Structure 1
């Protein structure tokens, strides 16, 4: 192939490229049809929008259905419970100090009680002391789901083995 022949191919490629670019700048047939349809529908109102709505007809009252869960499966809400309790077998370290019973010196096997926004520690011997370094947020983060509810404090102590 000669140089002249190659030049003709290049010119032909360039002219094809320019035609493609010109076509790309012009809107396609689909775009023109959409623009025409949009212009025709611009000032029209969809049917039914200007028609006043009819008054709703009174329906029959829904049949009353019993509560979703039977009473034995319902869990009391937080305002129906006097407090919560969880066992804490290991030593309790608060602010770098080992928590110990003020009466007997026990430092493990606690029951941690959360009631009325306060946290109480109860040792195995039954001594109770308020723990101001803990709060209900700490209790909620460290307690698991409740496995039972009890009518009395003593029933809960028996359930937890104290």
Structure 2
């Protein structure tokens, strides 16, 4: 049905012949710069040490320099399908959420505080915005946040 056409090998093509010639000529040649010792780089004078680019009054303290962080949480706080409620007065909204020493604390408007073990620092960091101020005392921060 189908006939196979057998072609006889006529020898290498022109491109194969050119490649064989070129590789034979280059066989014993070494690329320039190969085996020559490397040139030592020029000595560059070290850059002058410059003070930090921000003046001290504009620097933000790092997380290890702060005693804690706070954020307001006005709506009800739902954790594991339950609304968080103050254990003393029963309020369920208008919280201050405090993050300190890898613990999360809830503070109601009346000033009662309770530790919330269902929350962690990662949750606080995901839900808090950028800090708009730093305060020297806890009371200053409460005043700033309207509590």
Structure 2 length as normaliser, TM-score? Answer: 0.77
Give the deviation of 1:130 after TM superposition: 0.1
CA displacement, residues 105-150 of structure 1 (integer Å, 9 cap, x when unaligned) = 1111000011111100001111110001111121112111111222
Q: Which residue of 2 aligns with 1:117?
A: 102
Aligned counterparts of 2:57 and 2:25: Cα–Cα separation in 1:
66
* Secondary structure, counterpart of 1:49 in structure 2: coil
Q: Residues 107 and 52 of structure 1: is their aligned pair in 2 closer, same or farther, counting only changes over 3 Å?
A: same
| CA–CA distance in structure 2, aligned partners of residues 124 and 70 of structure 1 | 37
**For the residues of structure 2 that align with 1:139 and 1:46, how far apart are their CA atoms?**
61
- 1:8-157 equivalent positions in 2, closer than 5 A: 37=22, 40-41=25-26, 44-157=29-142
Quote the RMSD (CA, aligned, Å). 2.7
Q: Distance in 2 between matches of 1:37 and 1:75?
A: 66
CA displacement at 1:68 relative to structure 2: 2.1
Higher share of residues assigned helix: 1
Q: Give the number of equivalent residue pairs.
A: 138
User: Unaligned regions of 5+ residues in structure 2, if any?
Assistant: 1-11
- The range that moved more, 31-40 or 48-57, is 31-40
Using the TM superposition, name which of 45-54 and 110-119 deviates more.
Answer: 45-54
Distance between the aligned counterparts of 2:65 and 2:16, measured in 1? Answer: 66
Structure 1 alignment gaps of length 5 or more: 1-26
Q: Which has the larger radius of gyration?
A: 1
Residues in 2 aligned to 1:31 and 1:80: alpha-carbon distance in whole angstroms: 72
Q: For the residues of structure 2 that align with 1:124 and 1:28, how far apart are their CA atoms?
A: 91
SS at match of 1:104: coil
